[in-house]
Amino acid sequence: MVVRPLSEELKQARPFDLLEEEVHLSVLRTAAVLDHEFAQALKPYGLTPTQYNVLRILRGAGPGGLCRNEVGERLIRPVPDVTRLLDRMAEMKLVGRQRVDEDRRMVRTHITPKGLALLAELDAPIREIHRARLAHVGQARLRSLVTALAEVRQAGR
């Protein structure tokens, strides 16, 4: 496989000023390509990538569910209004809400059987997207990439 440099992909006439700039733009470009493919795969199911992310978060949380803030903190991409996001998903019957008896102000959100069924239907196609896009890179290089990206995310903290 011949790998084209980012500058060629972007039809950029002059070289990047910094390697760090090229890496930053390469990460953004790669994320955009992966996001687009992922969004296209979810579209026939009437889901956005953020809604899919919420369903995965709630499936992982188990039957107890999570409060709105906990869902928001776990999202891959923060959204400005988690309440509205959860409202739309409740209208779709993918999530349900329940007030906590001990503190009536606290509302826990959980995934519904319909949401679980939808995720189960999506599990194989989503895994296939990940494999098709990334398996050729190799396990060792993928692990190194995961570590490098974690270092980048944690450097600003």
pTM of the entire structure? Answer: 0.88
Q: How do residues 91-134 score in pLDDT, each as one tens digit?
A: 999 999 988 666 666 789 999 999 999 999 999 999 999 999 99
At residue 157, the pLDDT reads: 66
What pLDDT is stored for residue 98 in this prediction?
86
104-109 long-range Cβ contacts below 8 angstroms, 24+ apart: 106/67, 107/67, 107/68, 108/64, 108/65, 108/66, 108/67, 109/58, 109/65, 109/66, 109/67, 109/68, 109/71
Whole-number pLDDT of residue 101: 67
Q: Which CATH architecture has domain 17-155?
A: Orthogonal Bundle (1.10)
Residue whose C-alpha is closest to residue 96's, from 52, 53, 63: 63
Whole-number average pLDDT of the chain: 92
- Does residue 86 contact residue 109 with C-beta atoms inside 8 Å? yes
Sheet with 107-111, side-by-side order of all strands: 66-67, 107-111, 95-99
Q: What percent of the chain lies above the pLDDT cut of 90?
A: 80
Domain ranges, ordered by start, for the chain? 17-155
Q: Helix or strand or coil: residue 13? A: coil
